[in-house]
Structure 1
């Protein structure tokens, strides 16, 4: 991806240095960030149970002792020591100890959110949720998960600890993507150029997605794919084809995905009011945002927020 120089002075400086340069290798600009939520270690009794719910975060759950049962999107998974599940945003899931068991279990869990453009191509093309202790993914990331377990058990962490935690998470995500990529024959056939163009399209969408929309706008018309294709000097058909190949969804479906997931992520944060979130998501008023959100989910923003803060844990841990 070529470097863009938006500042006139920078362009001028580059032009004056070119004639004095033998070779130049410019790494593309990057902006990567993530959030960690509810990272914890728990020793649960045999009576422990967490009701069915969903959230806008990725989740990794590792069993460190005993057996734990998960129901994810209607499928049952029985986890033993060393097994893990990888849960995607929006997956409906619940968990408990093994039925009729008198033994409890220990587990580690971390929820995180990261720029979807990075993980989405890999997670969309695999339906795998359960990973056995001896799977390539589990064996590769287990040492990093163990380090996160140690962080979870610390009563206090300083600035250096936080930086180390960021480093562990980035390494964990990189290894996870690498393992998923190896498991996906189809992804291996996608060229670097195809990935590059698809990411450029996604970046264009992300930049436009929060521009104010009017009451009579439909979601798809706010981000016009024709304008993005024209800006990137490619045809609309090629734009759709490339994007579908990498992200396994159309650009318009991606618009809905990002709007919905970003809205959910903001709604679980009590510091933002519904009105503030509506403005952050590009709506002129909260009523327009509320109507659109209810069309997506069947719930109003306030109802969704309530569901995320009213899920009780059954049994003592």
Structure 2
């Protein structure tokens, strides 16, 4: 008698987006200086050789070979090689649209992982693999000329590096390598309020829940509402809504056969054309280009 097999494990649907910008290895001579600036993405730095001094807000952070540094999006900083040796580094700017991961990444203006802690992980191995991918494709061509297999490897190793970095943060807490003026983790009150705002935004995603309306409901000013949310999640409520709408749009396009008018209505857009224009702004593709094409076979 045949026994009917049942699913033993089932994973949730995952349609999150990783954005990788400016991923590269570099070498800077003595006296090199990069002026004060900030990014709209998270910045992750690995000191391969030499030494570099960063000024982050009012803190001075010195990285030596083997150290890692995560800088939160929007934090102003500058960098200098004040030694007599070259400074070699790996650098990547990235963003993820998963609220929980963003919340973990945004808990402080910067986080420093010293060589001793990093060496107990696979970080150096993953960087070596990633460097191998880049060396195979090292030409004068643009990075967009990477083979699709190597693009997948680039994203995979970047995600693995982020995964290990978050693990190390969790294991070693916020007491090491933070700098004297670095902000502490958001208070429980701040986190609770931010989570309540996030819940109301998620529930009202398709009804265009406004920050002003939520702020009024919670007896907060609009600016307080936005500030508390941004402190915990690392992005504004409006950016959060856009990311969640994009995530839901991708899921509906991939997993359903709903017409564009129905998808637009579910997402709170006035029309299918309005949804199509916004989706193209988000992804560079129209919804019909993004949607998988199913070919029938005889």
Matched, 1:114 2:107: no
1:201 pairs, out of 199, 202, 222, with 199
CA RMSD of aligned residues (A): 4.5
Matched, 1:96 2:80: yes
With a CA cutoff of 8 Å and minimum separation of 6, indicate the structure with the bigger relative contact order: 1
2:75 partner SS: coil
Q: Is the 1:117–1:199 Cα contact (8 Å) retained in structure 2?
A: no
2:161 partner SS: helix
1:55 partner SS: coil
Spell out the pairing of 1:160-199 with structure 2 (5 A cutoff): 160-184=149-173
Q: CA deviation at 1:52?
A: 0.4
Spell out the pairing of 1:130-145 with structure 2 (5 A cutoff): 130-136=112-118, 139-145=121-127
Q: CA deviation at 1:141?
A: 2.0
Call closer, same or farther: CA 1:118–1:145 in 2, change over 3 Å.
Answer: farther
Spell out the pairing of 1:278-293 with structure 2 (5 A cutoff): 280=278
Spell out the pairing of 1:148-297 with structure 2 (5 A cutoff): 148-153=130-135, 154-155=137-138, 157-184=146-173, 201=199, 204=202, 207=205, 211=208, 220-221=211-212, 224=214, 249-250=228-229, 257-259=236-238, 280=278
1:86 pairs, out of 45, 57, 70, with 70
TM-score by length of 1: 0.54
TM-score by length of 2: 0.57
Q: CA deviation at 1:162?
A: 1.1
CA separation in 2, counterparts of 1:137 and 1:206? 45
1:120-142 Cα shifts (integer Å, max 9, x gaps): 33234456522211125874422
Call closer, same or farther: CA 1:183–1:208 in 2, change over 3 Å.
Answer: farther
Q: Which runs of 5+ in 2 are unaligned?
A: 140-145, 175-184, 220-224, 243-273, 280-298
CA separation in 2, counterparts of 1:225 and 1:47? 49
Q: Which runs of 5+ in 1 are unaligned?
A: 1-19, 214-218, 228-235, 238-243, 264-275, 282-317
Q: Is the 2:45–2:92 Cα contact (8 Å) retained in structure 1?
A: yes
Tell me the equivalent position of 1:9. Answer: none
